[in-house]
Structure 1
Amino acid sequence: MLLTYGNIKKSKILKYIYLADYNDDEYRKAFLEYNKSIVKDFEKSDFIKIYKYLHDAKIHLKQINGNVVIKVNTYSEEKKSIYFDIIFEKAKILSWNTVKENGHISRLNKKYKPQEYGYEEFYEDNGKKYVSLILFGNKIRKGLYYPMATLNYENIRINRSGCALKQCYGDTTLGCEVL
């Protein structure tokens, strides 16, 4: 199932990001419920440990050897740099779309280098796992638009590097403090 305008209306969180016909209380409630579902679905995964660092992080998305890799550069609460890779194993980018301010979804035909991680929505359809990623950080002359990549994947793996990231995982080697 690829996200279309109709499916965005039915989604758990994307409808609140793209459609302006919801008030702030509805948005906050839906967003809180969605965050609880992420915690529940990924509680035994490394993904939940880095989840709080994702939003507004600088990213670069690319496809390598049958995997889709998101290189992430973000900061901890102490303003220390954190670098890690989110690796979607056996993954494929199914679509690159753009969502315009009016909610219209169209194919993204030009090269886009995402600059910031926005939001995501994980879902399953016919036993296959999907994620739609909304990316921020680019403007065009005709107004804002948000690129949206939809991926099909089998597993998520986190590749950690650097002292500050080890703080996320409670690693006290190399003089790193535990968060």
Structure 2
Amino acid sequence: MENLLGLLRIHVFRGINLAKRDVRSSDPYVVVRMGKQKLRTRVVKKNTNPEWDEDLTLSISSTDPPVKISVYDKDTFSFDDKMGDAEFDIRPFAEAVKMKQEGKLEGFPNGTTIFQVKPTRENCLSEESNIMWTDGKLVQHMFLRLRNVECGEIELQLEWIDVPGSKGFSK
């Protein structure tokens, strides 16, 4: 991929108060999509508050398409049931990465907030999300409210990984 900007590691922590799609519970898993890329977590059996604690890594060549998150209930004898979806824009995170690649974050103390992303009608954030400078890396912790479902949130953390030889943002 000659126009690779870098990698976006998405740490999928957990689901919170997910909808019940089976009689008593659900068997949820998360699908992450961006452009033509599609990744998924493992299934957590019989749990509406699942802990995945998994890393999924996307190759980023453009910051335009949003990252789409879908949660499904795994069914054995029929199609999996959708348990809601969310999406987020990586452009604010990409702006912070560009600042890092240009050397503008050198000397910032650990734990510095670079940007705050507020919840709006256009994004799925359930609370304010900070893009932080932590241990020489950029991370963004977020809680996404699922749409098209009666309840549920997903807790994620983004981390940027520079790839040697990739063009990055500063070129």
Give the TM-score, by structure 2 length: 0.28
Higher normalized contact order (CA 8 Å, seq sep 6+, divided by chain length): 2
Give the TM-score, by structure 1 length: 0.27
